[in-house]
Amino acid sequence: MVQDELTAQGVNVTHVEAQNLYRHRFTDRDRQTKAKVWQVIVSSFLQQWIAPDHVVLDLGCGDGEFLTYIRCARRVGVDGNPDAARNLESGIEFHHGNISDLSFLPNDHVDVSFTSNVLEHLASKDEVEQVVCEARRVLKPGGQFIALGPNLRFLPGSYWDFWDHHIPLTDRSLVELLTTLDFRVVTCYPRFLPYTTRSALPQAPQLVWLYLKCPPLWKFMGKQFLIRAIKV
């Protein structure tokens, strides 16, 4: 449902290339649809894990759909595309840079590190590991790492239909990495959201809400994983 929103984190493509991909991939109507979908996903599902006093970090924040709707004490976004800052609402802290370098944040500072449809765009598995390690470093003990992404187990061909996909990821491979890096996985949905906002699922907010409330539908339509892990 949200995969086709390429978060231009600027790791694998230049700023100009990212702009070209955006220009050909999305219309203004696409962006409006994504924003409405994200509002429901955040308010009806993701908000349950985030408290009003939390500090939340979005790795590869893109246009800021997640940060716009999440309710917490402090919202921080990092993205390699400097244009992302122009699309973020007031009150969101933006840091332009590589998501594998969180040196602007101290150790044990963040309650939630969130990422959606970003890891598959990185240049190598080593870089994925570096991003997860940095996310862990800035998390407080007991802090959460939450990741959404396309699951290659259910997308053997169409996974590669996006030019900027580089890393083959599944729920199982990411769980293995997180466990190896001393996270405790507490939530794992191999099938959560449909693959793109252009899926067959109607995009009306009420229907998105209904989908999220009916997990049996996920088994048929879900192509993205949702993983939540705790720093131990």
Give the pLDDT score at 15.
Answer: 47
92-119, pLDDT tens digit by residue?
A: 999 999 999 999 999 999 999 999 999 9
Looking at every residue in the chain, the average pLDDT score rounds to 87
Give the pLDDT score at 198.
Answer: 58
Say whether pLDDT at 125 is over 90. yes
180-207, pLDDT tens digit by residue?
A: 999 999 999 999 999 865 555 557 888 9
Query: Which residue intervals of the chain are DSSP H helices?
Result: 15-25, 28-44, 65-69, 125-138, 171-180, 205-212, 215-221
Query: Which residue intervals of 91-170 are DSSP H helices?
Result: 125-138
Give the pLDDT score at 63.
Answer: 87
Q: At what angle do helices 205-212 and 28-44 cross, to 10 degrees?
A: 40
9-42, pLDDT tens digit by residue?
A: 444 444 445 555 555 555 556 667 778 899 999 9
CA neighbor of 128 nearest in space, from 145, 141, 110, 111: 145
Residue spans per domain, the chain: 15-231
Give the pLDDT score at 202.
Answer: 59
Taking residue 46's Cβ as centre, other Cβ atoms within 10 Å add up to 21
3-state secondary structure of 166: coil
Output the six-digit token pair for 182. 């001393």
Output the six-digit token pair for 181. 């890096």
Distance between CA 55 and CA 63 in Å, rounded?
19
Say whether pLDDT at 4 is over 70. no
Distance between CA 87 and CA 64 in Å, rounded?
7
Residues 6+ away with beta carbon under 8 Å from 1? 37, 41, 193, 194, 195, 196, 197, 199, 201, 208, 224
Superfamily, domain 15-231: Vaccinia Virus protein VP39 (3.40.50.150)
Output the six-digit token pair for 129. 């590991």
pLDDT band at 75 (very low <50, low <70, confident <90, very high): very high
Give the pLDDT score at 29.
Answer: 61
- What's this model's pTM, rounded to 2 decimal places? 0.86
131-166, pLDDT tens digit by residue?
A: 999 999 999 999 999 999 999 999 878 778 777 788
**Radius of gyration over alpha carbons of the chain, in Å?**
16
Distance between CA 59 and CA 128 in Å, rounded?
12
Give the pLDDT score at 23.
Answer: 53
